[in-house]
């Protein structure tokens, strides 16, 4: 923690009587004077299968934050297995070195979401007098986050597309999935995304704006070349948003 912030806390204590100051951080740091440190490391959001993936982040392996501990209330199941979409430049219509601009990757994800996970479907008939068919996932229950930035169509004043969306986004739409691309500078869209307002769309967002969010289905789009390799922190920043089904779009063969 920055020395300046420590000084700020100490000065605040000196000027405000009976100050009750709480701080929260996800990393280890030297706590400011007068504060008591409490470590909360029980996984509450993600099922075990996702926690195991998150735990491979260098934030944990290099002790930048405390390791998860055993849950005090063992979860009832491991959670659904991680699903994969594989991008290889020369396979079945895939193109480019990375999945970000690959229309085939987007279309494969659309198929996985709509067919396998029944996202956007309708509830089936109940099978008995007491059985209740589970509600299908909505599109807004899905959060797609790329380590690189995915962009939407850019249009001119007449509405003509002057720069098309990233291939991955085009592929999702081609597969029938409604998509909202949230730019990192669009404060209103970020606020609506946080409180689940707006249309029922799959949200494609930059990793910088998903902190604090959680969704049942999280899709990590990870190429082979990107700026987040140093700490593998896409596990820490993106996978940790997932409460149930993790989908990983990645380069390379199975
Ligand atoms: Zn691809």
pLDDT, tens only, 88-147: 877 789 998 889 999 999 999 999 999 999 999 887 666 665 666 778 999 999 999 988
**What is the 192 CA–ligand 1 centroid distance (Å)?**
30
**What is the 251 CA–ligand 1 centroid distance (Å)?**
8
**Average pLDDT, integer, range 192-205:** 90
Q: What is the pLDDT of residue 26?
A: 80
Mean pLDDT computed over every residue of the chain: 87
Q: What is the pLDDT of residues 23-56, one digit of tens each?
A: 888 877 677 767 888 888 999 899 999 999 999 9
**Average pLDDT, integer, range 71-100:** 88
**What is the 155 CA–ligand 1 centroid distance (Å)?**
25
Query: pTM above 0.75?
Result: yes
Q: What is the pLDDT of residue 197?
A: 84
Distance of CA 82 to CAs 48, 49, 174, 236, Å?
11, 7, 24, 16
**What is the 220 CA–ligand 1 centroid distance (Å)?**
14
Half-sphere exposure of 169 (CA within 13 A, CB side): 23
Confidence of residue 195 (pLDDT cuts 50, 70, 90): confident
Q: What is the pLDDT of residues 218-236, one digit of tens each?
A: 999 986 655 455 555 788 8
Residue range(s) occupied by CATH 3.40.50.300 in the chain? 48-120+136-251
Which superfamily does 48-120+136-251 belong to? P-loop containing nucleotide triphosphate hydrolases (3.40.50.300)
**What is the 188 CA–ligand 1 centroid distance (Å)?**
31
- 2 burial type by CB count under 10 A (0-12 exposed, 13-18 middle, 19+ buried): exposed
Output 150 or 31, whichever has higher pLDDT. Answer: 150
Give me the percent of the chain exceeding a pLDDT of 90. 48
**What is the 241 CA–ligand 1 centroid distance (Å)?**
24
**What is the 86 CA–ligand 1 centroid distance (Å)?**
7
**What is the 41 CA–ligand 1 centroid distance (Å)?**
36
Task: Specify whether the CB–CB gap between 168 and 99 falls below 8 A.
Answer: yes
Q: Where are the beta strands (DSSP E) in the chain?
A: 83-87, 142-146, 154-155, 161-163, 179-182, 202-206, 215-222, 242-251
Q: What is the pLDDT of residue 151?
A: 93
**What is the 249 CA–ligand 1 centroid distance (Å)?**
8
Task: Supply the DSSP string of 53-71, one letter for each residue.
Answer: HHTTSHHHHTTSSPPP---
Task: Specify whether the CB–CB gap between 21 and 9 falls below 8 A.
Answer: yes
Q: What is the pLDDT of residue 244?
A: 96
**Average pLDDT, integer, range 163-191:** 94
Task: Specify whether the CB–CB gap between 239 and 53 falls below 8 A.
Answer: yes
Q: What is the pLDDT of residues 14-30, one digit of tens each?
A: 899 888 888 888 877 67
Distance of CA 142 to CAs 46, 87, 134, Å?
15, 20, 17
Q: What is the pLDDT of residue 45?
A: 92
**What is the 85 CA–ligand 1 centroid distance (Å)?**
8
Confidence of residue 3 (pLDDT cuts 50, 70, 90): low
Look at residue 196 and tell me whether its pLDDT is greater than 90. no
Q: How far apart are CA 155 and CA 197, in angstroms?
A: 24
Neighbours of 87 (CB within 10 A): 26
């Amino acid at each position: 923690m920055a020395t300046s912030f420590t000084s700020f806390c100490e000065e605040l204590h000196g000027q405000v009587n009976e100050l009750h100051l709480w701080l929260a951080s996800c990393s280890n740091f030297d706590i400011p004077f007068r504060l008591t440190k409490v470590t909360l490391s029980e996984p509450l959001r993600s099922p075990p299968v996702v926690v195991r993936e998150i735990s491979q982040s260098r934030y944990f392996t290099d002790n930048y934050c405390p390791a998860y501990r055993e849950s005090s209330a063992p979860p009832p199941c491991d959670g659904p297995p991680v699903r994969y979409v594989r991008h290889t430049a020369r396979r079945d219509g895939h193109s480019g070195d990375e999945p970000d601009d690959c229309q085939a990757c987007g279309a494969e994800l659309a198929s996985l979401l709509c067919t396998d996970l029944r996202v956007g479907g309708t509830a089936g008939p109940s099978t008995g007098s007491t059985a209740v068919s589970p509600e299908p996932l909505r599109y807004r229950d899905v959060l797609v986050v790329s380590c690189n930035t995915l962009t939407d169509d850019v249009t001119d004043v007449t509405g003509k597309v002057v720069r098309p969306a990233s291939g991955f986004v085009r592929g999702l739409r081609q597969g029938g999935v409604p998509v909202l691309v949230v730019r990192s500078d669009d404060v209103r869209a970020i606020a609506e995304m946080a409180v689940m307002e707006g249309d029922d769309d799959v949200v494609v967002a930059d990793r910088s704006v998903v902190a604090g969010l959680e969704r049942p289905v999280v899709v990590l789009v990870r190429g082979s070349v990107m700026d987040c390799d140093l700490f593998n922190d896409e596990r820490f920043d993106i996978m940790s948003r997932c409460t149930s089904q993790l989908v990983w779009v990645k380069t390379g063969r199975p």
